Amino acid sequence: MDKRVLLPTDFSKNALNAIRYALDLYKDQTCDFYFLNAFTVNGYSIDNMMVPEPGERAYEAAKKASEDTFVKLMDVLALHHDNTKHTYHTISTYNSLLFAIKDIIAKKDIDIVVMGTKGATGAESVIFGTNTVDVMEKVTECPVLAIPENARFEKPKEIVFPTDYKTAFKRKELNYLLEIAKYHKAFIRVLHIVKESELRGNQLSNKELLESILEGTDHSYHTLTDLKVKSGISAFIDSRESDMIAFVNRKHSFFGSLLSKPLVKEMGYYSKIPVLTLHDVS
């Protein structure tokens, strides 16, 4: 079955960079790419009860501007990404970005969302903008791959997977991590950061479960001690020049808190490599 990839875009350079990353990531795979622009209309707010109607001058002007920009984008991509395995679809809709993404995921049976990320201020200390954080937190129907604005595509050779082993793993929630790793022959580096190196109780059984899930993929286990989580992950990635980080966003687990906005803003490594957010499928 063809891969169905959703690519939200506001037609910025940052969004274009994420699009190019996705096209390269799936260069050899048959894919349907759905390009989504959630446009706004002058005089209306997405949060307002007043909604512009199709046919109204302002609505039609905004929709036409979106569609015309899509034509230009397709021309740009045709020059550098002429791939017979890829089919492009463009969607212009008046909606909030989050609800537009959820709507298209449901209607088109999307496998993964790939989007660019840029801090709202452009400052290095602000790595993820509000839209990206909202999508990574609230789009739970499929994985979300966030591409930092300065990240350039390199075939993933190593994907870091941090875990505290405190929650049981499910094969379904890790399927996309396994797929990307196998597709690109990348190693999965399982990283555990603790004060005490020994695993206890459920942690041991959860590690055994993870081992059974990762069977058939190239992987290894690593432990760092006496480091804070964010600095430990960052140091590990920097020292190995890893290509991607993946983690499961669980509402009630320690690593789920990685998506909290204050912590996201502090995680400097997010500015360097793509982040794959997987979700608890229970």
DSSP secondary structure, 2-24, as one string: -EEEEEE--S-HHHHHHHHHHHH
Q: What CATH superfamily classification does 158-279 receive?
A: HUPs (3.40.50.620)
> Which pLDDT value is given to residue 56?
85
Task: Report the distance separating Cα 183 and Cα 203, nearest Å.
Answer: 29
Is a pLDDT exceeding 90 seen at residue 227? no
> Which pLDDT value is given to residue 92?
96
In order, the DSSP letters of 196-222 are S----THHHHHHHHHHHHHTTS-EEEE
- Among the ranges given (46-60, 125-139, 180-194), the one the predictor scored with the smallest mean pLDDT: 125-139
Q: What angle do CA 153, 155, 157 make, to 5 degrees?
A: 130
pLDDT band at 47 (very low <50, low <70, confident <90, very high): low
C-alpha 27, offset from chain centre = 18
> Which pLDDT value is given to residue 126?
42
Is a pLDDT exceeding 70 seen at residue 205? yes
Please name which of 8, 97, 12, 92 lies closest in space to residue 47, comparing C-alpha atoms.
97
Overall CATH class of domain 3-148: alpha beta
Strands (E), the chain: 3-8, 31-39, 86-94, 112-117, 144-148, 158-162, 187-194, 219-225, 244-249, 275-279
* Strand partners for 91: 36
Q: What is the mean pLDDT of the chain?
A: 84
Please name which of 93, 99, 86 lies closest in space to residue 138, comparing C-alpha atoms.
99
What's at 6, amino acid-wise? L
Q: What size, in residues, is the chain?
A: 282
Q: Are 153 and 24 in contact (CB under 8 A)?
A: yes
Selected residue with higher pLDDT from 129 and 150: 150
pTM for this entry = 0.88
Domain chopping of the chain, boundaries:
3-148, 158-279
Same fold: 3-148 with 158-279: yes
Is a pLDDT exceeding 70 seen at residue 1? no
> Which pLDDT value is given to residue 129?
61
